[in-house]
Structure 1
């Protein structure tokens, strides 16, 4: 049996190794890096319009979402040690988007499954904080109140190796990205003409395109091995004037498709520009999401070993 001293050494070593995988100033679990921001969340207009979202995205992350008891317990211990004698809560990425007590993380599609709500907190609202008054359990807050709170940024990490299938190799890029650059990010040349900027997410190859049921089934199996926090994964499919195309060639999406039933390409949506994501909760079927949302990306490149 290990002595307490041995356990302490092992714990320190594990945390030290994990810390080395995060940027300076961040702390780590097996799946994520976390940063407690000294800035305020600065609420603007509705649950999603916080400076915090932009600040975390600038750091290639998102406002923290808590998906397990293990992660929640880690954050509670960390906040207790990091924040001394504070009565102010810390803002999380959970929101009741429609005001009907249906909570979701960072977008309405990411439903809250695990929860740690405080008993009878005496507060209400559409935003979520971890409150020191309740041992950093969760409380609903008026979004106006959360603008003066600190917030937690989270960077997700994937450990899944690349796998190859019929001439292509697939890699899950776990750092979150937009699916594509939209007109909001237009640049201009010397003549003042609009030019869409280069936007290369995948370090090699391109964002994946799916052209057959066989390929789709392989990708489903591949993604089923990913970490639980991977809820949506971008492919290269995008909508242009209600016609679906693939980013790498602008070819039309024809033949095989695997839409979630309500997300047929004629489905009315509230965002202007849609891109194709694969949804874990729908057995990795295709889902039409806002291209500006940030999720992990499925990259595809030629399998050079297959050509030899």
Structure 2
């Protein structure tokens, strides 16, 4: 519409109307670009104002926390999760894999977190996934190895753990509705990594 109006007004860039000279080609192109830039800047300003309004409405304090996860990681309640899909590793290899990202093999603190993880695993194809629960140190004493804490919340399947000294590492098993089973630590499953989100601060205007 701007282009058509300008052509009519300028008489195809060659006429003079009402004693006002028409834009030459270069001036006309600059005029169009400048108008586009002005329009984009107005839209960006409007979006920023709307975003600030939305953030301020949700945050009663003078600053709001804003957390971020790396690409490929999933955010949930202040933590980032990486669900490996395709590559399988032993328990120890899975720990090292997560440590390379500044993370640990996942530990689970409560039922809501467990349900979140199960919901994510339903979208993937492998049959089992390692978490950091093991009784390799003392048989029957299960610990979250990377946090060195005794198991608190658990989601063992009925009759699990049952492998005694043969199966000392825990894993989600999809064939049992993603309940936990003990498994050989030498088995090869994908990893679930977990780390804290990076915390940034958003200042209210």
Do the structures match in fold with TM over 0.5?
Answer: yes
Q: Does 1:83 align with 2:130?
A: no
**2:173 maps to what in 1?**
131
State the distance in 2 between where 1:109 and 1:149 align. Answer: 22
Residue 107 (structure 1) shift: 4.2
Change (3 A) 1:35 1:142: same
1:39-50 correspondence to structure 2 within 5 Å: 39-43=87-91, 50=92
**1:73 maps to what in 2?**
115
1:50-199 correspondence to structure 2 within 5 Å: 50-80=92-122, 82-84=123-125, 86=126, 88-107=127-146, 109-120=148-159, 123-124=162-163, 125-145=167-187, 148-157=188-197
State the distance in 2 between where 1:22 and 1:109 align. Answer: 24
1:233-244 correspondence to structure 2 within 5 Å: none
**Number of matched pairs:** 132
State the distance in 2 between where 1:65 and 1:120 align. Answer: 21
TM-score by length of 1: 0.39
State the distance in 1 between where 2:148 and 2:190 align. Answer: 25
Residue 98 (structure 1) shift: 2.7
Residue 93 (structure 1) shift: 0.8
Segments of 4+ in structure 1 off by > 4 A? 158-161
RMSD of Structure 2 on Structure 1 (CA): 2.6
Unaligned runs of 5+ in 1: 1-19, 44-49, 162-308
**2:70 maps to what in 1?**
23
**Residue-by-residue CA offset, 1:66-110 (whole Å, 9 max, x unaligned):** 011110010011101x214x4x21111111133421111124831
Counterpart secondary structure, 1:24 = coil
